[in-house]
Chain A
């Protein structure tokens, strides 16, 4: 094999290594810093209370940020490949709004709090978020009449997002007792993530990753157009349905544990593609790692920027991600090619 061909493979390898190293560094950093500065990490050997803070609050929270970011990055890569649309993203497709509506609905119906840590509650909230996400994606596709038209798909996604967001707000207004908790949750925060949430996200991440990887050929084939993919003998309807399920499960699980965190799913695959051009089998893995690194870094920033006051990480990703999206559109326009 010649150099030009293996270059992309080597790049993919080094990017993966770099992202893993960054993950390890960020996890360490995330465990060490908090509202009490570095003290707890330093005092952890002597002071059982400091150890408790690190083990039960900071570690699951940092790990949760990593896992939620990985889920969102995975969902973003799947969405962009599935809809052959570089702007597809769990947030822009309305699926994140659907998921949060699911969470709000479940909370209003059963009177549970987003802070709950019991297994049953967390699983229930995740399931509700999943159902909401699936329905929102289907609604977006229905409104957009398919995936062919980029602009129509995005408009439909935005409309679905706004409408479902309004319904969520309405539910919250009618349930003032959960409003406070839900409000901070809606802004996107890793503050509620405990070990239960981590375990759920890890399990779902493992499943969706394997499923997405198994269907990555379909995403590659779809990049050549629907008819060509069909002519290659790919079972498109089944694979599409399964990939929508992966997308919704990834989004729903992340939203149920950390609330609405925007743009991570959009930016992660873009950043990977700007470094390395590769097949979806690799892109999916790299985008997950990238999303994980992005969200972990954003979470640490959100905790540190206004310490001891804490910024909801969703607010930070919205500001950073929105800027990135604007820059991306500007660059595309500059090159004269529509998105």
Chain B
């Protein structure tokens, strides 16, 4: 029998990956990634195109066949039942097909599936959770409209609400800012901060490095490996970030925030 992790460590670590390797087709895109993501923290995964960020996120979400182990809140994910995992971990993908014929409300309600007994109609609690989620992404106003009639940004807010409606302990988001206009990007940022304050764990893959630097911690990836993991305020993290992007960007401090600007 394998030794179970100590309780304190279990409470601290939300996602624990050990030697995770994954293939897309015949190419190995993740080469033995070991990573511990802390609970009640927001971690951003960054790296150049093709670094394996989305693949890592999928592997962490248990959506991709991989070797090695991933533990979610101290439990080995491979041995968890699908529904149990789905209650504790919510995943928002990018470029998934978008259910044009469902209304925003119906889509958000799908986030409650892991909580509903099979064949049971949604409970009052489910409706309340859906309302909270749709209000959090300012999508409540047009909850009766089908997704096919929404703009890209509006649709993204509905999909975001779907992920929030799960009310899971751990939220994994792949490019959540896609199609969002600046005010809603800021809203998203504040919402994530609030989630983390309330004890949830957020892991996001972001292309916008300046947004990624708003997180608590940063995971820098390149060629399917983690090249650095550290606090966003850390100088070593900034150096790793500039390294991985071939020093084509520089991290600056401005108005109390870290910014990545092109080096011209």
Contacts and interface: CB of A to CB of B under 8 A. Distances in A.
Interface of A: 2-8, 84, 214, 217, 220-221, 223-225, 227-228, 230-235, 273, 277-279, 283
A142 to B, nearest CB: 19
11 contacts: A4-B142, A4-B145, A5-B143, A224-B107, A227-B63, A231-B89, A231-B91, A232-B86, A232-B113, A234-B113, A279-B102
A5 B96 contact: no
Given A232-B86, A233-B85, A277-B101, A4 B144 contact: yes
Given A217-B113, A220-B110, A221-B110, A233 B99 contact: no
Contacts of A214: 118-119
Nearest to B87: A233
Given A4-B144, A217-B113, A231-B89, 12 more contacts: A3-B144, A5-B143, A7-B144, A223-B102, A224-B96, A225-B93, A228-B91, A231-B61, A231-B90, A232-B111, A233-B114, A278-B101
6 shortest A-B CB distances, which residue pairs? A233-B86, A225-B96, A4-B144, A223-B99, A231-B91, A233-B83
A233 B97 contact: no
Contacts of B229: none
Contacts of B90: 231
A223 B98 CA distance: 7
Secondary structure type dominating chain A contacts: helix
Contacts of A231: 61-63, 86, 89-91, 93
Contacts of B87: 233
B61 A277 contact: no
B12 to A, nearest CB: 24
Q: Which of B97, B101, B102, B119 has the most CB of A within 10 A?
A: B101
B230 interface: no
B76 interface: no
Contacts of B148: 277
A211 to B, nearest CB: 12
A261 B63 CA distance: 40
B68 to A, nearest CB: 19
A279 B113 contact: no
Secondary structure type dominating chain B contacts: mixed
A2 B162 CA distance: 19
A224 B86 contact: no
Interface string B45-61: 00000000000001001
B99 A235 contact: no
Given A231-B89, A231-B91, A277-B146, A221 B113 contact: yes
A227 B111 CA distance: 13
B71 to A, nearest CB: 17
B175 to A, nearest CB: 14
A194 B84 CA distance: 50
Interface in B143-189: 143-146, 148, 159, 162, 166
A250 B195 CA distance: 47
Contacts of B144: 2-8
A84 B90 CA distance: 22
Nearest to A80: B101
Contacts of B61: 231
Given A4-B143, A224-B162, A228-B93, A278 B111 contact: no
Interface in B5-59: 58
Contacts of A3: 144
Given A224-B162, A233-B82, A273 B101 contact: yes
Given A8-B103, A277-B103, A277-B146, A227 B91 contact: yes
Contacts of B119: 214
A221 B106 CA distance: 10
Nearest to B91: A231
Contacts of B103: 5, 8, 277-278
A257 to B, nearest CB: 30
Contacts of A221: 110, 113
A146 to B, nearest CB: 13
